[in-house]
Amino acid sequence: MAWDFSTDPAFQVELDWMSDLVREEIWPLETLDLSMEQVGEVMKPLQERVKERGLWAAHLPPEHGGQGFGQLKLGLMHEILGTSPYAPFAFGSNAPDSGNAEILALAGSDEQKDRWLEPLLAGQIRSAFSMTEPATAGSDPTLLETSAREDGDGWVLNGRKWFTTHGSIADFLIVMAVSDPDAHKYQRASMFIVPADTPGVTMVRDVPTMEHPEERFGFFGGHTEILYEDVRIGPEALLGPRGAGFLIAQQRLYPGRIHHCMRWLGVARRAFDMLCERSLTRFAHGSLLSEKETVQNWVADSAAQMQAARLMTLHAAWKMDDQGVAAARQDISLIKFFGATVLHDVIDRALQVHGSLGYSTDLPLEAMYRYARAARFYDGPDEVHRASVAGRILRGFEAPADGVPTEHIPTRRAAAQEKFAWLLEAATAND
């Protein structure tokens, strides 16, 4: 019987250390308008402390300088690091570099690992993952149009991508392109490593978004539109087997969703703490907000939702560690849309309880609210995950041959009367 909800005490000590570091050294940075150089400078001593503590790049196996943590430990860690956009940089686990490092570790050749993975892990270079296109539905990557045409022993890429996070500051791009248009729909695409300065690669712009509405270029957190025009790359650029783009992307996306859900819980918890604190000081209509039933419902509902999402997410992480990614697919889809809703709901209530202050930039709630909105569609929109979960569940059911619901009481009563006729007859005979 193994059904344990406790954290290993030795690892809890590490989590407490992370939590203190993030709150005391990193949260204050959020209030400053730092340049990329300044962020790099302030991060260096923190990164050294993290490395000394043995917590650097925890997502990768030890042979690549990581800690080999499973998804459960990583999940607990991401819950803390997710509370601040800067925290993952201090721990060598910032997206998209962490996911790209996982792809390279998984599918890269020895040469690719030497050239790209090692300096990426050392924090000397940056990477981006370039899959989504403006002209095709990102939620259905079988529709990708960016092409990879064989040319001699190399390849020529053509296409337009956007929302390539960190594209404008990346040293290399992992590009998903159609290498085999006539193959099975899940075997049409391959992945390629493209140095960002390859001729034909044009960084068109960093797309202004709800999270970063101002037009600017080359910043942390930017999402880049990129034009690939006759981009010539050698055979060494192919990452993993030809036609294995989907397979590799799935390996990256499933654990990535667990990481996202735990980061969201970290953000939700921060918003929840603000909700509770404000309710204890704001007075209106004869009582503190904490004494109003509606606000009490918000506190209780938020706590219940966060606990449910946390247990579901840690359970999915445990399942992935225990039984592998395929076994955890449904659990991961469940948490992806449920976690995104919880994140939104808790921030929304916290913002509401603060009124104008919550809406203003004097608190981080409005920024959290904008950040939370995208969670409902990146890494698979809610609708796609719901459909996938429902499809898997419904496969376990069969339509009754006669169309009558299995639980139909008159039908069940007739069957029961037949089955227990001896009992009913005996009861009648005793009358």
Ligand X SMILES: Cc1cc2nc3c(=O)[nH]c(=O)nc-3n(C[C@H](O)[C@H](O)[C@H](O)COP(=O)(O)OP(=O)(O)OC[C@H]3O[C@@H](n4cnc5c(N)ncnc54)[C@H](O)[C@@H]3O)c2cc1C
Which residues bind to ligand X, rule: CB under 6 A?
96, 129-132, 137-139, 163-165, 223, 374, 377-378, 381, 383-384, 387
Tokens 């899959």 -> residue: 131
| Straight-line distance from the first to the last Cα atom of the chain, in angstroms, rounded to the nearest whole number | 51
Question: 3-class SS at 83?
Answer: coil
DSSP state of 68: -
Distance from C-alpha of 279 to C-alpha of 196, rounded to nearest angstrom: 50
Cβ 141 to ligand X shortest distance, Å: 8
Our CB check for ligand X shows the closer of 82 and 138 to be 138
Cβ 109 to ligand X shortest distance, Å: 23
Our CB check for ligand X shows the closer of 79 and 379 to be 379
Our CB check for ligand X shows the closer of 84 and 165 to be 165
Distance from C-alpha of 323 to C-alpha of 326, rounded to nearest angstrom: 8
Distance from C-alpha of 371 to C-alpha of 360, rounded to nearest angstrom: 15
Cβ 245 to ligand X shortest distance, Å: 12
Distance from C-alpha of 319 to C-alpha of 324, rounded to nearest angstrom: 7
Our CB check for ligand X shows the closer of 56 and 163 to be 163
Distance from C-alpha of 216 to C-alpha of 226, rounded to nearest angstrom: 15
Our CB check for ligand X shows the closer of 318 and 378 to be 378
- Whether residue 126 contacts residue 173, with contact meaning beta carbons closer than 8 Å, is answered with no
DSSP state of 116: I
Q: Other C-beta atoms within 10 Å of 322: how many?
A: 13
CA 273 to chain centre: 23
Cβ 206 to ligand X shortest distance, Å: 12
For 101-236, strand residue ranges (E) read: 127-130, 147-151, 154-165, 172-178, 189-195, 201-206, 223-233
Cβ 3 to ligand X shortest distance, Å: 35
CA angle 142, 237, 171 (to 5 degrees): 95
Cβ 278 to ligand X shortest distance, Å: 28
Cβ 110 to ligand X shortest distance, Å: 26
Our CB check for ligand X shows the closer of 166 and 270 to be 166
Distance from C-alpha of 256 to C-alpha of 270, rounded to nearest angstrom: 21
Our CB check for ligand X shows the closer of 128 and 314 to be 128
Give me the residues paired with residue 238 across strands.
192
Our CB check for ligand X shows the closer of 202 and 417 to be 202
CA 406 to chain centre: 39
| Number of residue whose CB is nearest ligand X | 138
Cβ 75 to ligand X shortest distance, Å: 20
